Amino acid sequence: ILFQLDQLRKQVPIPVWYTALPTPVRVLFWVIALPALIIGLNVFQQVALPRNKSLPPIVFHYIPWFGSAAYYGEDPYKFLFECREKYGDLFTFILMGRRITVALGPKGNNLSLGGKISQVSAEDAYTHLTTPVFGKGVVYDCPNDMLMQQKKFIKTGLTTEALQSYPPMIRAECEDYFTKTLGISASKPTAKKVDLLHAMAELIILTASRTLQGNEVRESLNGSFAKLFEDLDGGFTPLNFMFPNLPLPSYKRRDVAQKAMSDFYIKIIENRRKGEKDHEPDMIDSLQGCKYKNGVPLTDRDIAHIMIALLMAGQHTSSATSTWALLHLAHSPELYETLYEEQKTLFGNPDGTFRDITYQDIKSCKHLDSVIRETLRMHAPIHSIYRKVMSEIPVPPSLSAPSEQSTYVIPKGHFIMAAPGVAQMDPLIWQDAKVFNPTRWLDEAGVAAAAVEQYSKSEQVDYGFGAVSKGTESPYQPFGAGRHRCVGEQFAYVQLSTIISYIVRNFTMNLEVPEFPKTNYRTMIVQPFDPYVSFTLRKQDV
């Protein structure tokens, strides 16, 4: 190449003005000219060269490799809705060297979330992010069939009996947190301003460890475990998703924390086996003794890594959801009072106290349930779900743009992306899609009810972790759909309903920012900016 360049240089006369330039100016010239040339060629290729009609249209971008990263990263929904306007429900965008084909709407969700195992792979899309955090041998570091069995093991630990035992434990943690950590009590009933996201993150880990994770984890939360969790969590960022291994301190801390946390769980298991520790039935308990179909039991290391995966899977999703729900309640005092009245009607005792909410009660709290559903509709914690395309996917004609003559094929090597939040906020499906209106879920004849009806009645499939409704074409999928559907939904509902009930019963809330918080999309999970509220202890007036 160097030889050819040298030949070229000899053939192309160098202009006199260039040779007259001092060296620093020549360097500056190339610093400006080279990127301009690259961008120019990239634009030329997109607008002037004929494109392969069997491939989905590519979102226009100036910088090759970097592509639409800035726009998508800053506000994915704005980006996706605008692209849908221009290109239809199927298009490809460039994200730091990756080709991401987005398939939108119920049909698009079905294409990726309902894709055949030979065509789409979650393991190949996520393992570089999750394996350094969860550890080896589980979730996306094993064949899909093993993950399906691990999900079955997790489900056996989330029996109705287990879920029934959780609300009193969660309530006790809430009581402790509000009185001791936040310092709001009858002797100090004045308004207390808090960073709600921070408070909810603490409450979610406290309640998850008290229930699912077990006493040993709960007892260690005030000490070493909290630090390990923080370091491990620092490895679960968009930067880690884009660049699995960088020589940065956060990557080093992630790796050290993973090993230490894995060893911590193994110690718990060994101590329990020696009979050293009395414990309530919990997930570790339930995973011990689980065997794969081929008779191979889960090792202690596998159990440790599944426990870490569960901790991470539930932490940000549930803390973000509870934060958004409470922000909406603080923003709408009328709605907040409706929930309070519901609590009084269903659980109020004549002496002004409340009885504990139970697992069975949760669905009967219609207003509370509708607030959680509506929160998940508008603030689905996971905005993009990726799969690696393992063999080419012919796209059904219904997903091709109306103006296109040919149908598309998504090539092997692309990523296919579902964004259920787009269907969840589609004005063609939902009335006043951008308005937070929980009552839409109470209107039996309404579109929301119909959508859920369709969801719950859709075809039942067993992917290996028990029969679930396939739901891949539903316009409401905050918990995903298909073989990778969430197995923590019931647990999340118990946790969220108990925490929100506790807060509604005991406090009034005020939004402590001038306008409703905007969304921060720069984290892995959709979170609010500046989520400040104040809590004031209610006078018990039942």
The Cβ of residue 38 has, within 10 Å, a number of other Cβ atoms equal to 14
SS (H, E, C) 305-361: HHHHHHHHHHHHHHHHHHHHHHHHHHHCHHHHHHHHHHHHHHHECCCCCECCCCCHH
Task: Tell me the number of residues near ligand HEM by CB under 6 A.
Answer: 22
Q: How many residues can be counted in the chain?
A: 542
Kindly give, in sequence order, each residue whose CB lies less than 8 Å from that of residue 128, ignoring residues fewer than 6 positions away.
241, 244
Binding to ligand HEM in span 294-313, by CB under 6 A: 310, 313
Q: Of the two residues 61 and 210, which places its CB atom closer to ligand HEM in the complex?
A: 210
Q: Does 318 bind ligand HEM (CB under 6 A)?
A: yes
Q: Does 385 bind ligand HEM (CB under 6 A)?
A: yes
Q: Of the two residues 58 and 410, which places its CB atom closer to ligand HEM in the complex?
A: 410
Kindly give, in sequence order, each residue whose CB lies less than 8 Å from that of residue 257, ignoring residues fewer than 6 positions away.
227, 228, 229, 231, 232, 235
Amino acid occupying residue 365? C
CB 416 within 8 A of CB 410: yes
Q: Which stretch binds ligand HEM (CB under 6 A): 32-40, 85-93, 94-102, 379-387?
A: 379-387
Q: Does 381 bind ligand HEM (CB under 6 A)?
A: yes
Q: Does 262 bind ligand HEM (CB under 6 A)?
A: no
Q: Does 129 bind ligand HEM (CB under 6 A)?
A: no
CB 208 within 8 A of CB 311: yes
Specify the 3-state DSSP secondary structure of 418. Answer: strand
Q: Which stretch binds ligand HEM (CB under 6 A): 178-186, 257-265, 317-325, 509-517?
A: 317-325
Mask of contacts with ligand HEM, 108-127, x by CB under 6 A?
--------------x-----
Q: Which stretch binds ligand HEM (CB under 6 A): 41-49, 345-353, 442-450, 485-493?
A: 485-493
Binding to ligand HEM in span 399-418, by CB under 6 A: none
Q: Does 484 bind ligand HEM (CB under 6 A)?
A: yes
Q: Of the two residues 54 and 288, which places its CB atom closer to ligand HEM in the complex?
A: 288
- Binding test (CB under 6 A) with ligand HEM, winner from 100, 304, 487, 524: 487
Q: Which stretch binds ligand HEM (CB under 6 A): 44-52, 147-155, 333-341, 452-460?
A: 147-155
DSSP annotation of 472: T
Specify the 3-state DSSP secondary structure of 411. Answer: coil
Structural element, H or E, at residue 434: none
The CA distance from 518 to 497, in Å, is 24
Q: Of the two residues 213 and 338, which places its CB atom closer to ligand HEM in the complex?
A: 213
> What minimum distance in Å lies between the beta carbon of 314 and ligand HEM?
3
Structural element, H or E, at residue 265: helix 249-273
Q: Which stretch binds ligand HEM (CB under 6 A): 181-189, 409-417, 484-492, 527-535?
A: 484-492
Place of tokens 């800053």: 74
Q: Which stretch binds ligand HEM (CB under 6 A): 19-27, 77-85, 358-366, 478-486?
A: 478-486
Surface-to-core class of residue 464, CB atoms within 10 Å of its CB (0-12 exposed, 13-18 middle, 19+ buried): middle
Binding to ligand HEM in span 320-359, by CB under 6 A: 321
The CA distance from 414 to 412, in Å, is 6
Q: Does 317 bind ligand HEM (CB under 6 A)?
A: yes
CB 142 within 8 A of CB 134: no
- Binding test (CB under 6 A) with ligand HEM, winner from 100, 268, 284, 382: 382
> What minimum distance in Å lies between the beta carbon of 397 and ligand HEM?
26
Q: Does 314 bind ligand HEM (CB under 6 A)?
A: yes
Strands 532-537 and 507-511 turn out to be antiparallel
CB 232 within 8 A of CB 191: no
Q: Which stretch binds ligand HEM (CB under 6 A): 20-28, 242-250, 378-386, 422-430?
A: 378-386
- Binding test (CB under 6 A) with ligand HEM, winner from 76, 115, 478, 531: 478
Q: Does 492 bind ligand HEM (CB under 6 A)?
A: yes
Binding to ligand HEM in span 16-75, by CB under 6 A: none
Q: Of the two residues 184 and 196, which places its CB atom closer to ligand HEM in the complex?
A: 196
Structural element, H or E, at residue 274: none
The residue at minimum Cβ distance from ligand HEM is 488
Q: Report which of 245, 183, 238, 176 is spatially closest to residue 210, judged by C-alpha positions.
A: 176
Positions touching ligand HEM (CB under 6 A) are 122, 147, 151, 154, 310, 313-314, 317-318, 321, 381-382, 385, 478-480, 484, 486-488, 491-492
